[in-house]
Each structure stands twice: as structure tokens, then as C-alpha cells.
Amino acid sequence: MDNIKGNVIRVNLSLGSINFFTTEDFYRFLGGRGYGDWVLLNEVSKDAEPLSEENKVIIATGCFTGTSLPGSSRIALVTKNALSGGISYSSGGGNWGPELKKAGIDAIIIEGKSSTPKYLFINNGNVELRDASHLWGMTTWDTEDAIKEELKDDGIRAISIGPAGENLSKVACVMIDKAHALAWGGSGAILGCKMLKAIAVKGDKDLKMHDKALFNDLVKSYSHILLSSPASASLRKGGTHGMAGVGGWSGKVPTSVRNLQEEYWDPDKAKKVSEEAYKPYEKKRTRCYNCPLACLHYYEMERDGEVLSCEGMHANSVRGFASNWDIDDPFEVLKIHSLCNKYGMDVDGVSASVAWAIECFEEGIINEEDTFGLKLKWGNSTDLITLVEQMAFRKDFGDLLSEGVSNASRIIGRGSEKYAMQIKGVGINEQGVHSHKAWSLAIATSTRGSGHLSGAPQTENRQIPEQVGKWLFNCEEAGIPGSYKGKGKLVAWYEIYKAIIDSIGICYFDAGWYEVALADIKHFTRMYQAFTGKTITDKEMWNIAEKILNLERAFNTIHAGFTRKDDYLPERIMEEPLNVGPFKGEYMDREKFDAMLDEYYETQGLCKETGLQKRETIERLGMDYLIKYFSSNNVSIE
């Protein structure tokens, strides 16, 4: 497999053209997020609006997607963020990515804009754009079913947008296999603008490897560690719903309560929406491709003749629609989650926007005249469900909230910006932002804005021992939630590590996030050599991940103008201490946060004063093309 190259499809919707090409860049950046970043930076100009034909969507498998490596289900979606104008990347599981790989395709670049609805059908080496007029207006669930029926093949895998994407809601997402979301940056709206309803895939090709026997032997060793892990056993037992949903099993896992006002919810309410409370309604556990953890729940509930059947309720949905909106009715929480999946809406974006609206209503900033008669009260699930549906179809007050919490607060004004929990224009639906210092710092520094799945470590939540923190991360207090010491270095480490995970195409749950014993990239460098036949050192792979982050920072600098000021948390987190719970009194001390941020910048080779990249860092990484990129866009760096 000399000069190994990735197989890429370029789909121009304006021209209706499909072109195949191969590129070494795919493996040069490990695939997935890394390859998507590279294409976006090189092909999308700073003048391109996110919701325009000039923006592009890159959907890329990882170099290990579809292999025997546990959790190798992931694909990345990279585009220009509809909420911030900066970078947006998402990682999604299910079975679509491995199917694309079996069809002989590593990545798809989607550009232009169709004049009529289309869907893309990839059938091994045959690729065609098909009419999707009959699918327009359908939910993501109905779209997948209709495509399978039309193509007369239940084995086809599909990703699609729902009504939220068609109506250009900026909290719209792309759904995989009905239950897995590519959920950041308004990706659903961006495909909706391009009039691309879905991508269906069928493949039956074997993956080519340099040394398949060696690769599988390395996977066995990796799997032994994964399956020996108490953290993995806990995930398999209760999923993230059980591990982290509204207090978790310990009752001490922080959550978000009423728009991040608190982190500890009434335990009597929490019990009603716990994983244990949902057990009677669990019909089965489901899993993504080749994952031993099966962390997904398939629930079925009935009330007054209404039946809910839905897969995949993770901790984010429980937190976002239960504690963050103060709803303790398990049926209503599941209903809101299922609506987001069907309509194709980002759980975090919906949660943040609605929580802001409720608090503004409670504070008298907005009223029923603004909300078209809806009473936005904590726990008022009836009106809140109506509002979610309005967001999908951009009707009435939902039209405003579909702009995302940051945009909505600017439009309303009246001091409402104070209650908009957002970073870099992206709404926050998070736990532990007051109390867990490294976790919170990583949410602030995330290049895509507000996400813990960029570099937030689980070391604090798991309270790893002092020696483990020292040995693995040179941070003795890595397991102490309230400590600021060494947390800048810790976050920088996990950001680089996560860039690798998102690019090679495996799930974070099957990697070194929960189980730190797997947080050694030597596993991946050896597998990369077995897969490609190309030697790569640990340092070389680490440097690739650093390059990925620097591509994202460069894109953010030119396209969104982000600097140090954009790496801060909402004022609420830095000024209002928690009043109740195990972490009572905690808040993010501004002076100590600044010290953490300085340490983070120093570790990442960034300028402490501005947060921008340094010339010496770019040169160390061999990224001279970024110097030209900055210069051509009239930006100077030190």
C-alpha cells in the first residue's frame, strides 16, 4: 500500500456533477476531522456565508473507521459554523460510516446548491444524485424508511436532515440511522440550504490493509484493556444516561439546573428521570458498529394512547430537557428527545435556547406577546414541547429561537444577553462548569464553541488518584474538581488527544476518555503502521493532531476574528457561586481562570496576550502554508 491515498467524492450540487479523486492528504491528516479541516481551510473563503452555496460540507470517515477496532463507527462532519462563522466539526456513530467505507469511499465533499431537493445514493462504485422532492418535508425517521422502500433494500444506511434543516434552523443537525447526531454548527441547515436531503449508502467491499493479522492482534490487546475497565463496565451497564445523567449513580455528578443557575437538582425530581426509573421501559440496548459497550437505550413508553419508541437518549438529553428546564416527567423528557431526533435538531442548541427564553420570561424581559401566548415557565412541559415544534418549523416564537441563543438574545436585547449561556456564539448545555475547572476551561477554549467533546477531561469526574495524574499528565491534581493547578496543561493534552480520536474514527467511549489506561497513542501508531504499511512515531502522530488544532485556530482567526476574549465563560459562571449541592460555593475565579488560560496558551504555543498563533509554533510544526494563509488575508502574527 505504497503512497496510500484516500478515495474522495466531490459533489457539486449547482452543476449536478460527481467527481472521484484520490489524495494523500486524507491519511496525512489521519482522515475524519483532520482531513475535513484541511479541505475547509483551503477551499472556503472568509467571505463565504455559512448558509450559502460557497460554504462546503466535508463528511469524512476516519482512517480506522469500519475496522475491527472497538468503536470504529465514527464519521466527522466539518463545515463553516452557522452560529459563529468559525469552524464546526461533529463526530457521529451508528453504522453509516463503516458502510461508506465498505462502498470504497473515505470522504465526501459537498459544494454548491441544488435548485430542487436531492439525495445522494452511493452503491459501491456507483454514485448518483436522485430527486428528493417526495422526501422534502419528511422527518429523518420517515426519510430513511422511504429511501429503503424506494431502493428495495433494508440494508441501506442513511443520513438525513429533517424539517429543522429544511427550514434553515441554525440549531438543526444531521441524523445518522435515526438516533445518532452530527449536531454542531447548524449542519442540518447548511445541507438544507444546499437542498440535499439525505445520503444513502450500500457497500460490500472488504477493507484493504497492509497487515490485517497484525492489526487484529493489536486490537486484541487494546480490547483487553477496554473490557477490563470498570469505567467500561459502568457504561455498558447504564450508558451515559446512568453514568452522567442528572447526578449519575453517585448522585454527585453535576448537571445543569435552570439555565446553569445551579449544578445540583432536587433528588426527588432527579430520581424520576434516572436510568433506573426508565428501566421498565427499556426494550433493548443498542450499539454502534463494532462496539462492545452498547451504551444506547431503546425505550418505549405509552400515555393516553400516545406511544413513544425512541433510541439513544444520552446524558445530554436528560440534562438538557430535565434539569435544565426543570421537567421531571420521564414521558415528556423522552418525547422532547424523540422530537429532536425526528426533526433533526441539536439537543444542546435546543436546550440552551429554550432555557434562556424561560429565564427571560421569568425575569419579565419577554412576555406572552413576544412568545405568541406561550407561558414559558420552568417545568411547563406542555408549552415547551410546543416551542420545540415551533423551532423545527420556524413558526411564531420558535422562529427566533431557531437562530440560536446568542443570536436570539442580540435580536431581543433588553438585557437578555446576560442570560444567554454561550461561548463563541454556540449555546451551552453542560455540567460542572462552575465546579470542575479543567472541564470548564476546555469548554471555553473549544475551537468549535461550547463543547465538552473537544478537550474536556473526565479525570475530575472520575477523581483519578494523584499518582495517576502525575504519571500520565504531569498533573498531580488532575482528579480534583476544584483545583486549578496544572489544569491548563491537562486541557491542552486532551485537546490534542481528542483531535486524534476524531480523525482516526473511533468513539471516545472506546478510547482514553473514561478509561485513562487507554490514553496512550502508541496503540494507534502501531495500528496505523499495520493498516497502511507506513511507519509513524508517537511524536509524529501527536504533531499531526497539533496541526489539526492549528488549522482550526487559523480558520477561526480569519473567518470569525476569535481572540483571547472569546475563550471566556459566561459571566454567570465567573460571578455567581453555587448555592446548593456537593459543590456549594464553587464558581470560576476570574484571576485563577486567567492563570489556567495562560498555562494552556503556553502549552499550545499560543500568544498569551491575544490567544493567537505564534510564528514559531507554526514553523515548529512545519506549517509554513499557514503563514501565507494569514498574510493573504491581511493578518500578521508574531
Please spell the DSSP secondary structure of 361-388, one letter per residue: HHTTSS-TTTTTT----TT-HHHHHHHH
Read off the pLDDT band of 419 (50, 70, 90): very high
- Has residue 636 got a pLDDT over 90? no
* Architecture of the structural domain at 6-202: 4-Layer Sandwich (3.60)
- Has residue 626 got a pLDDT over 70? yes
Q: Which fold has domain 248-425?
A: 1.10.569
Read off the pLDDT band of 249 (50, 70, 90): low
Identify the DSSP state of 516: G
Answer whether 94's CB lies under 8 Å from 178's CB.
Answer: no
Looking at residues 266-295, what average pLDDT do you find? 94
C-alpha cell, 103: 462502498
358-404: pLDDT as tens digits = 999 999 999 999 999 999 999 999 999 999 999 999 999 999 999 99
- Has residue 436 got a pLDDT over 90? yes
Looking at residues 170-198, what average pLDDT do you find? 97
463-494: pLDDT as tens digits = 999 999 999 999 999 999 999 999 999 999 99
Distance CA 321, CA 381 (A): 9
- Has residue 2 got a pLDDT over 80? no
Nearest to 181 by CA among 58, 37, 343: 343
What are phi and psi for residue 516, nearest 5 degrees?
-65, -15
Looking at residues 530-549, what average pLDDT do you find? 97
Residue intervals in the chain for CATH 1.10.599.10: 437-505+537-632
Answer whether 374's CB lies under 8 Å from 387's CB.
Answer: yes
Task: Please give the C-alpha separations between residue 621 and each of 143, 624, 634, in angstroms, as whole numbers.
Answer: 44, 8, 22
Identify the DSSP state of 613: B
- Has residue 252 got a pLDDT over 90? no
State the pLDDT at residue 253: 81
Read off the pLDDT band of 1 (50, 70, 90): very low
206-244: pLDDT as tens digits = 999 999 999 999 999 999 999 999 999 999 999 888 887
Looking at residues 418-428, what average pLDDT do you find? 98
State the pLDDT at residue 250: 66
Distance CA 93, CA 145 (A): 19
Residue type, 400: L
603-616: pLDDT as tens digits = 999 999 999 999 99
Answer whether 137's CB lies under 8 Å from 117's CB.
Answer: no
Looking at residues 262-289, what average pLDDT do you find? 94
Distance CA 515, CA 508 (A): 10
Answer whether 289's CB lies under 8 Å from 66's CB.
Answer: yes
Looking at residues 406-430, what average pLDDT do you find? 98
Residue intervals in the chain for CATH 1.10.569.10: 248-425
55-92: pLDDT as tens digits = 999 999 999 999 999 999 999 999 999 999 999 999 99
Distance CA 609, CA 564 (A): 7
State the pLDDT at residue 243: 81
Mean pLDDT, the chain, rounded, equals 96
Torsion region of 260: left, alpha or beta (phi above 0 gives left; psi -120 to 50 gives alpha): left
**Beta-sheet pairing, 157-160 with 196-202:** antiparallel
Looking at residues 515-534, what average pLDDT do you find? 96
Q: Give the orientation angle of helix 330-343 with respect to helix 381-393, to 10 degrees.
A: 0
C-alpha cell, 529: 503502521
Looking at residues 101-126, what average pLDDT do you find? 97
**End-to-end Cα distance, the chain:** 41
* Architecture of the structural domain at 437-505+537-632: Orthogonal Bundle (1.10)
Residue intervals in the chain for CATH 3.60.9.10: 6-202
